[in-house]
Amino acid sequence: MEHEMENEQELIQRAKLHDVAAFSELMQRHGKSLYKVAKAILKNDEDAADAMQETALSCWEKLGTLQNERYFKTWLMRILINHCNTIRRKASRFVFDALLPEEGAEEDAYANAEWMELLQRLNEKQRTVIVLYYVEGFRIREIAEILRISESAVKERMSSARKKMERFYTQGKGGLICEKI
Amino acid sequence: MKKYEDFIGGLRKDVQVPCDVWEKYTDTLAQIERVSAQRKEVQIMKRNQKNKSNTAVKAAAAAGVLVAAATVFSFANPVAAAKLPLIGHIFEQVAGDATYSGDYKNVTVLPDVPENAPADANQQRQADAAKGTDSGVYRAASNGVTVTASEIYSDGYSVYLTAEIKSEAGGFSHIPAYYTRQFGETTSQSIHAMGTWSAGNAANALSNSVFEGKAVDDHTFIGMLKLDAETLLTGDGTLKLALSELRYDSDAAPEGEEITPRGCIAGTWTLDIPFSVDGSHCREIAVGKSKDGYGIDKVFVSPYQVIVFCDAPYTTLSPETYTREDFEAQWGNKNDEIAADGDTPVTYEDMLAKKFYDYFETAVYNQDGQALSMQYGDEEKCVFAVQDLPLETLHIYLADETQELGLIKAANEQEAKALSMLDAEINL
């Protein structure tokens, strides 16, 4: 792991000097992560591919501004999420966040997995923190930095997501359960 | 699959990127230099077009004074504050560690609760009404939890309220502490407040609202709540707070599981608390600088927050690209649910009128080159916490979407300046 990290830092340094081969290898390493997060936010492959493409371009153009190479992935995810938000607007699929309509599961093989259907029941804010935390392994503080919200807001979204999922399991419809203490 | 854990396990499954997505991505990587060059050409063309269309706006801005001291609020009500007996010093105890820290010496301290007062403020109000008196008890109890308001302050853009929250069941000592500074180890514990609030305007849902403070013991929490008004508050007002849930996390969660919620207490806590806007230590300063559709309009400075009001280019949906059919497909069912909940449905016209702003970021440094901590921003303003930094001169930098990430990550003011497209210096 340490060797891999050193290797990645070397790749970033070379990519900063606009070494195309190094940049390509670096971005391919993170390609799967970009796809999973973009898919969770945008829900369809076409838009996810656009977001990945735009992220690669932005990263190529702005990599020189990255101060600390250790934070590359956090920085990369923030770029991706910005592009996902832009795509949602441009595709006229933008809705007011708090009132996001819940779409049904898609018909492709990826979305047919039950867990993915359940993920789609969450709103975009909840899906994003769930994927960043559980799938990508970011810490709460890192997610707060990526999304530019407070740590407590990240945890609140995760708690809300969990409660909503629990309600789906127990009652079969959306909403929050409130534990009485 | 019947458990949340199964859902998380499913999420963690190795996912294969579909071939067509991966091909598009790797094609872009292989041609990154060419694609990037093409995009830059398009951006330059767009910028040139934008410059032409914004000439009138820029001329109007240039005609104004660049930096002019404008409004100093002076709505303090020291008489009202002075005649109120003390019940507590919660600001004093929590403000040093809170995000919006500072010396809250101008707060209005709410009157102490008499020992024989009813637990619920509603009962007290009924008793007051029967007697034709005002005992000034700002306390509400529900579901084993009592919320007692302690102090209140408003700088016009926000209302800051402190309260003591007592729970019969306890559990507050397990609330985890979070960092409240970008650098350093200052932390606070927090309880999320759900419900609605208003201060002389329409009721707003509490959103990302927390009592930030500390657990005094397992049953007692003290904290401050910052509520941001959508429109400027002036004079005397009444904060109407209707809490429906109090939520908090627990550090007693199993290792590796950071999100297990400890408590979510449902109830009804209603508090009507009078306050006076105190702008005696606040300033609002016109700036009026703009470039390429971006602008720094004005700055508000209070002892606890700096608000930079900005402009950014925006686009709107058009009936050609977003038809009524698109709207119905998107909002039809959801609007039925909204209406059923008693809320106002979203209309097609709402969506057409909605402005979609370009991304931008701002950074603020003081005269010593110290960065103020950015808390949140939207298309109209960015809010920074003062956190006890001395403020004599503010240097404000705005970066458009091509450099916004660099601005956030800037190691010092020189870097921020180099990355910005617009800046302003404000002498306070």
pLDDT in tens, chain B (428 residues): 456 666 677 666 667 888 989 998 999 999 888 888 776 666 555 444 444 444 333 333 333 222 222 222 222 332 233 333 334 578 888 888 888 887 777 677 776 666 666 655 566 666 666 766 666 668 889 999 999 998 899 999 999 999 999 999 888 888 888 777 766 667 888 898 989 999 977 788 887 788 999 999 999 999 999 999 888 898 888 999 999 999 887 766 544 444 445 578 889 999 989 898 988 889 999 999 999 899 999 999 998 999 999 999 888 888 887 788 878 877 777 777 777 777 778 888 888 888 878 778 899 999 999 999 888 777 788 899 998 889 999 999 999 877 776 787 777 899 899 989 999 999 98
Name the amino acid, one letter, at B238: T
Q: Does B183 touch chain A (CB under 8 A)?
A: no
Task: Give which of B69, B68, B113, B108 is closest to B89, Cα–Cα.
Answer: B108
Provide the H-helix boundaries in A17-150: 20-29, 31-42, 45-62, 72-90, 109-112, 114-121, 124-130, 140-147
Which among B22, B25, B359, B376 is the top mutation candidate for probing chain A, defined by the most A β-carbons within 10 Å of its own β-carbon? B25
Residues whose CB is less than 8 angstroms from the CB of residue A48 and which lie 6 or more positions away in sequence, other chains included: A35, A38, A39, A42, B21
**Cβ atoms B268, B244 nearer than 8 A:** yes
Helix axes B4-11, A151-171, angle to 10 degrees: 120
What residues are paired with B120 via a beta bridge? Answer: none
Contact A24 B13 (CB under 8 A): no
Residues whose CB is less than 8 angstroms from the CB of residue A44 and which lie 6 or more positions away in sequence, other chains included: A106
Task: Give which of B322, B328, B319 is closest to B346, Cα–Cα.
Answer: B328
Strand arrangement, sheet containing B393-400: B360-365, B393-400, B422-427
Sorted by where each begins, the domain ranges of chain A are 1-94, 100-181
Which among B4, B11, B40 is the top mutation candidate for probing chain A, defined by the most A β-carbons within 10 Å of its own β-carbon? B11
A-facing residues of B in 290-349 (CB < 8 A) are 315, 317, 321-322, 326, 330-331, 333-334, 338, 346
CA gap A137, A36 in Å, rounded: 12
Chain B's closest residue to A90, CA to CA, is: B317
Contact B26 A24 (CB under 8 A): yes
How far from B223 is each of A139, B63, B124, B149, CA to CA, in Å? Answer: 26, 46, 24, 10
CA gap A79, A74 in Å, rounded: 9
What residues are paired with B194 via a beta bridge? Answer: B245
Quote the minimal CA–CA distance from A2 to chain B in Å.
22
Contact A135 B10 (CB under 8 A): no
Name the amino acid, one letter, at B391: L
Which helix (H) or strand (E) segment holds residue B275: the answer is strand B261-276
Chain A's closest residue to B36, CA to CA, is: A57
Q: What fold does the segment set A1-94 form as a domain?
A: Rna Polymerase Sigma Factor; Chain: A (1.10.1740)
Q: Which ranges in chain B are annotated with CATH 2.60.40.1630?
A: 78-276
Q: How many CB pairs under 8 A join A and B?
A: 182
pLDDT tens for each residue of B236-280 = 889 999 999 998 877 665 444 444 455 788 899 999 898 989 888
Chain A's closest residue to B180, CA to CA, is: A150
pLDDT tens for each residue of A86-118 = 777 655 433 333 333 333 333 333 333 456 666
A-facing residues of B in 118-157 (CB < 8 A) are 143
Q: Which two tokens stand for residue B382?
A: 């960015």
Rounded-to-10 torsion of CA A44, A50, A53, A57: -140
CA gap A96, A93 in Å, rounded: 10
B-facing residues of A in 37-66 (CB < 8 A) are 45, 48-49, 52-53, 56-57, 60-62, 65-66
At the second CATH level, the architecture of B78-276 is Sandwich (2.60)
Q: Which two tokens stand for residue B270?
A: 């209603």
Chain B's closest residue to A165, CA to CA, is: B4
Backbone angles phi and psi of B353, in degrees to 5: -80, -15
Q: What fold does the segment set B60-71+281-315+356-427 form as a domain?
A: Immunoglobulin-like (2.60.40)
Closest Cβ–Cβ partner in B208, B374, B403 for A153: B208
pLDDT at A149: 77
Which among A45, A65, A157 is the top mutation candidate for probing chain B, defined by the most B β-carbons within 10 Å of its own β-carbon? A65
Closest Cβ–Cβ partner in A34, A45, A134 for B11: A134
User: A99: which chain B residues are within 8 Å (Cβ-Cβ)?
Assistant: 334, 338, 346
Q: Which two tokens stand for residue A92?
A: 């006229």
Q: What fold does the segment set A100-181 form as a domain?
A: Arc Repressor Mutant, subunit A (1.10.10)
CA gap A148, B208 in Å, rounded: 13
The sign of the CA dihedral B240, B242, B247, B248 is positive
Q: Is A66 exposed, middle or buried (0-12, 13-18, 19+ CB in 10 A)?
A: buried
What ipTM does this complex have?
0.74
Closest Cβ–Cβ partner in A45, A67, A148 for B18: A45
Which among B210, B409, B417 is the top mutation candidate for probing chain A, defined by the most A β-carbons within 10 Å of its own β-carbon? B409
pLDDT tens, residue order, chain A (181 aa): 445 555 888 899 899 888 899 999 999 999 998 998 888 888 788 889 989 998 999 899 888 777 778 888 888 998 898 888 777 765 543 333 333 333 333 333 333 345 666 677 777 788 888 888 887 888 887 888 788 777 777 887 888 787 777 666 555 433 333 332 2
Residues whose CB is less than 8 angstroms from the CB of residue A157 and which lie 6 or more positions away in sequence, other chains included: A125, A126, A129
Which helix (H) or strand (E) segment holds residue B68: the answer is strand B68-71
